[in-house]
A and B are shown apart, each in its own frame.
Chain A
């Protein structure tokens, strides 16, 4: 591939580009979906291509193609320069500049015990269909579904600064879901998480570790129980979130507003901007002293882990919130340069035909020193909520409202009745400032979220979030007219 990458970089340089990079990406994916006793879809897909990104006269251009040939590489590099020239006709008073990075030649591979592509498809089907059968033993279940996904991505990055990086990443994910419906009520329960389950940069061993079959009947029973469960009351109370719902809370109210491109308005017309404006860096009280959040792309097995980001910047661990104080952003080389800093290594692209933009890595709430049991015992009156169902947050990431699959009353330190249609709402920093207990590292777990959308044209990122259950005081719950 060295021949092709050099070709692209040479063409761009000859045409006057001050910087260029090329990524050649080859993705292989396998999916199995089961539904009500049938294998609904069994598919395999492959996508290969390359993208060339150039800076010309201080402005960006990018083009891409699926035809990985020398002739096409030349055409695409030329087109990228032509596009950058058009960009340069609508410029600011300053050029785009790139924060420095050390050029490297490197190879990186994610760790994987059992290659998910080597496991027989029959075994994957058998697992999901058995879970399906177990769920549908409960006659109240209308739809039982199962999901398995394996992804292999081989990627080469080369830049005019001299980097040449080869990376291979394997991802595996699985999950099940039961839907019950009756008399105008519809309820879902999933395992291990909603939105298709849980994902990691690991092999088939990750799916085995889920013990899906041990949870199938419970998931079905809970979905049916929810149909007649008590409606979550509209009130202000103490809220305990399980770690899977917390991952979404972190994702939406911390992960997105710390993206430096959003702060600079680069996503303003689509995903929005951020309330974490630059003067807040290092001083703003984002949460209580119990809240420490890190961005860690170096965690083994994390869905948001890698060796180098898509600008060739090495994976890093960055403190985002330190004992409640907002400290750092996720950044790319061009956004970091605007602050006179180096990149925190978070520029990631969704495949060969997209440019790298600022993306989450693994954004984790660090563990505290409670146990979930102790938190519950310590709560006089409250609600415990589990597993995300719906999400919404404003375009500066302040006012949020999340719905969960299931909730439970907490009374005098113990778990009470099941509640349905539970949701909660708040303002990001008020919510995190009300956090007074976080469970310890034994209950801390890293989750994978495969569906983070951002950018125009749209890009989907695979990111990770670690959390242990936590408690928030005085939260508004049960929003909406439910009776």
Chain B
């Protein structure tokens, strides 16, 4: 059923059906996506930006033989859609045959998973402002300033092709995040959910304020090798670099991945198990990929051993196997979007107790790949960085730059948190790593 800002399954299928009917191509693929998104942003303890956005985009891929053209429009008017089809067809005619083209996927049953919550969809600007006020009040009470954002929205995606694929999914999401700060330190906390009722602004406020209090007047520790405790957001950041290029089957084929020739080997720590699962409601479920292929649960690493890779339709076809439902990203190749790391049995407290001299990291900032084959990543720590000595947190420290390989992090990690947290689109625990290379320090 159509609701404000969403087309609904019936109408979405009608629109894509119309495109498929009128396309002149030998084959045609349509991707229709959009929805509504609201974001209330605050800083200095007041709401300084507050926005709403609604709309859809329609992408048409028209294929003649091995010649492919695409066009997209954000207007669903009959004329605009017609123009997009014509443009895609004209562009395809101009193309040279793409010898790498392996066709498009046929239909397969798509599992149902509910990720749409009225509570999130109906959440109003006043509701978001109320949540924000809980945080700004908590910060103000301690003489701190809070900045952050409260985002809620609903989106839908419909993928169809001329071989009979008809996939539709709608979902809601909510994200509340804040940095609570003074001139001499800051602390971060956030919460993500598909159902906004799971987000407790008071709890987010409590964590960020406590972190900020503990982070006041940090001291310099010299760069070098330290034990580290990475909280879930930092873990997810590193994990992204490991998976992005590494576990893509096309990158492995082209020799661009550190896994080229190494699938089946034990490259990681015994405690490291990793999989992608588009149906697990602990994450942000999405039952099919951008090619309309149902998502398979793919075990990437089991007890440190590399088990499998992520496949899109093209790469799977080349290797004579089933696609895993991680395609549709064009030149990027297959990508993970619902990563899960196996939990362990430790708490962050346990990790602190077991640390002789180390750094506890809340999150990273502005990380970037320095070398893809070594998965060497550089970045800064941010919003809650603490020195741990002889089993306890002794003081806040000025933020450090690291230049470290994700292969080493997940290859040597020796304690894993028992609680899983949503961090971006991944669901991960905290971890303890015995040695981590810091290469610089900043002034705050």
A interface residues (Cβ-Cβ under 8 A, vs B): 33, 35-49, 59-67, 79-80, 82-87, 89-92, 96, 121-122, 125, 129, 142-143, 145, 179, 181-182, 184-186, 264-270, 272, 275, 353-355, 357, 390-396, 398-399, 401, 403, 421, 423, 425, 427, 456-457, 479-481
Contacts and interface: CB of A to CB of B under 8 A. Distances in A.
A90 B129 CA distance: 7
Given A86-B126, A265-B145, A479-B403, 18 more contacts: A41-B70, A46-B75, A46-B84, A47-B74, A48-B75, A86-B124, A86-B125, A90-B129, A92-B46, A129-B96, A182-B255, A185-B373, A186-B371, A268-B186, A395-B380, A399-B443, A480-B376, A480-B437
A84 to B, nearest CB: 7
A67 B76 CA distance: 9
B421 interface: no
11 contacts: A42-B91, A45-B71, A46-B72, A46-B73, A62-B51, A89-B126, A266-B43, A272-B382, A394-B399, A399-B442, A401-B439
B372 A396 contact: no
Interface stretch (B22-30, B174-182, B264-272, B386-394): B174-182
Interface string B49-65: 11111111101000000
A178 B89 CA distance: 30
A457 B38 CA distance: 9
B70 to A, nearest CB: 4
A78 to B, nearest CB: 11
Given A86-B126, A269-B147, A269-B179, A396 B442 contact: yes
Contact of A82 (B56, B125, B179): B125
A417 B146 CA distance: 51
Given A60-B48, A401-B401, A456-B39, A42 B365 contact: no
SS of B interface (majority): strand
B74 A48 contact: yes
A17 to B, nearest CB: 13
B115 interface: no
Contacts of B41: 266, 456
A375 to B, nearest CB: 26
Contact of A86 (B55, B129, B258, B365): B129
Interface in B103-146: 124-126, 128-130, 132-133, 136, 145
B367 interface: yes
A186 B257 CA distance: 9
A181 B371 CA distance: 12
Q: How large is the interface on B (under 10, 10 to 19, 20 to 34, 35 or more residues)?
A: 35 or more
Contacts of A396: 442-444
A64 B39 CA distance: 12
B43 A268 contact: yes
Nearest to A59: B47
A62 B149 CA distance: 15
Contacts of B376: 480
Contact of A63 (B52, B92, B151, B177): B52
B272 to A, nearest CB: 21
A92 B44 contact: yes
A125 B372 contact: no
